[in-house]
Amino acid sequence: MRCVLLLFVAALGLVACDTPSPGFRGVEAMRITMRGDVFDVRVDGVRAEAMRLNARWAPNLDSVAPNSVAAIEQVSGCRVRKLYGDAALMTARLDCGQKLEPLPRGFTYECDVYKIFDGLAELECRPKPV
């Protein structure tokens, strides 16, 4: 009986792994891969949430933040003004005054970073076959 209970608790924990935070429930996610990190990005007005879905050895926010910021900016079409959170779930405040070209919805993307200069990255994103 104890084994069944432990399996149930473990399965319940895994089900919640890609569930958005309460403020982003009901907001459609866009999956994007940025330099090996896979994110589900949700955008709601001037707020965005990036959930990292891939495994990584001993990540911290400093190592994940550049990829999550690039992913959020590509999906939202806005600059990230402030980033909060940890290496698994990040929330951003957006500055949409300087609009960027957002990626079309309905696809999963894989992106390569070509150049980083003065905090800005030059990216090439292409739809990933499903």
CA 126 to chain centre: 16
Q: Which residue shows structure tokens 């459609």? A: 28
Contact yes or no for 103/86 (Cβ under 8 A)? no
The reply to whether 41 falls in a domain is: yes
Chain segment 82-110, per-residue pLDDT in tens: 898 999 999 999 988 867 777 888 888 88
Residue 112 lies in a domain: yes
Q: By the 8 A CB rule, do 114 and 124 touch?
A: yes
Range of the domain at 42: 28-127
Does residue 11 lie in a domain region? no
pLDDT at 7 over 80: no
Residue 82 forms part of a structural domain: yes
pLDDT tens, position by position, 24-51? 888 999 999 998 899 999 999 889 999 9
Q: What is the pLDDT of residue 107?
A: 82
Please report whether residue 90 resides in a domain: yes
What's the pLDDT tens digit per position in 73-84?
Answer: 999 999 898 898
Domain count, the chain: 1
∠ CA 103-105-107, nearest 5°, is 90
Residue 42 located in a structural domain: yes
Residue 120 in any domain: the answer is yes
With respect to residue 60, please indicate whether it lies within any of the assigned structural domains.
yes
Q: Which of 43, 46, 88, 47 is nearest to 68 (CA)?
A: 88
